[in-house]
């Protein structure tokens, strides 16, 4: 069963912030939230991950609610190259036997 | 670093033929895995390995074999190809116990006719 729920698709105007929501209401205390994206048919690309604090890197920001039941990935200034399928994954980190389990993700279309 | 390298990029097989999809990584990652992706679907885990000599089954292991004799290589074998195995196959690697990012190869597009 999927551990995360994401909208099937979203649109965003080029240059605007893209806010991609993810619901993970059954997340455990030792599970992290990971975000990956897949551009066209390429291999997935890691974006960011976090446990409970907000995280930011050169690609995106991750905002996790205080109860950890949902999160939002923010692409601050979306470009056409950000058009992709975005996957939100919960996973026990620092555990050698825990694979990444992908759902269907959110298809983000950035529009000029 | 070349990262994760998959070969071949494209392959057409006849039903019943066997073949091996190759995956190699040069990052000294302990963890490697194979996924398949069907049109319009997310990735589904086939097999994974947490180190040389150790493999385990994922969500959809039937029809596939793996072995891990070295840290660098994790080949996926199709013993008797079936049309249902037509898919895009991705290999991934990461450190086992650091909770960091997984690196994916560019995929092998397999068609079984």
For residue A4, cis peptide bond before it (omega within 30 degrees of 0): no
Report which of A40, A28, A45 is spatially closest to residue A98, judged by C-alpha positions: A28
- Residue pair B93/B76 in contact (Cβ under 8 Å)? The answer is no
pLDDT recorded at residue B80? 96
Q: Is residue A95 predicted with pLDDT exceeding 70?
A: no
B73-92: pLDDT as tens digits: 999 999 999 999 999 999 99
**CA of A42, closest CA in chain B: separation in Å?**
5
Higher pLDDT, residue B52 or A96: B52
The mean per-residue pLDDT over the stretch A104-111 comes to: 96
What is the distance between the alpha carbons of residues B26 and B60, in angstroms, rounded to a whole number? Answer: 27
A26-75: pLDDT as tens digits: 998 888 999 999 998 899 999 999 999 899 999 999 999 999 999 999 99
Chain A residues whose C-beta sits inside 8 Å of any chain B C-beta: 32, 36, 41-46, 49, 87, 93-97, 99-105
B13-39: pLDDT as tens digits: 999 999 999 999 999 999 999 999 998
Does the beta-carbon distance from B58 to A99 stay under 8 Å? yes
Query: Could you give the 3-state DSSP secondary structure of residue A11?
Result: strand
What is the distance between the alpha carbons of residues B104 and B25, in angstroms, rounded to a whole number? Answer: 10
């Amino acid at each position: 069963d999927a551990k995360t729920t994401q909208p099937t698709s979203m649109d965003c105007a080029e240059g605007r912030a893209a806010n991609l929501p993810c619901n993970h209401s059954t997340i455990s205390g030792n599970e992290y939230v990971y975000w990956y994206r897949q551009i066209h048919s390429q291999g997935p690309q890691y974006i960011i991950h976090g446990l409970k604090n907000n995280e930011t890197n050169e690609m995106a920001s991750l905002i996790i609610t205080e109860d950890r039941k949902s999160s939002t990935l923010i692409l601050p200034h979306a470009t056409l190259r950000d058009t992709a399928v975005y996957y939100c994954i919960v996973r026990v980190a620092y555990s050698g036997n825990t694979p990444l389990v992908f759902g269907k993700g959110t298809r983000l279309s950035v529009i000029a | 670093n070349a990262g994760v390298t998959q070969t071949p990029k494209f392959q057409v097989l006849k039903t019943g033929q066997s073949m091996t999809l190759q995956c190699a990584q040069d990052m000294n990652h302990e963890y490697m895995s194979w996924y398949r992706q069907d049109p319009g679907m997310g990735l589904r885990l086939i097999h994974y390995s947490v180190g040389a000599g150790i493999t385990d089954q994922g969500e959809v292991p039937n029809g596939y074999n793996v072995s891990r004799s070295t840290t660098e290589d994790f080949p996926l074998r199709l013993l008797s190809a079936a049309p249902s195995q037509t898919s895009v196959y991705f290999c991934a690697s990461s450190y086992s116990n650091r909770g960091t990012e997984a690196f994916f190869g560019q995929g092998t597009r397999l068609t079984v006719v």
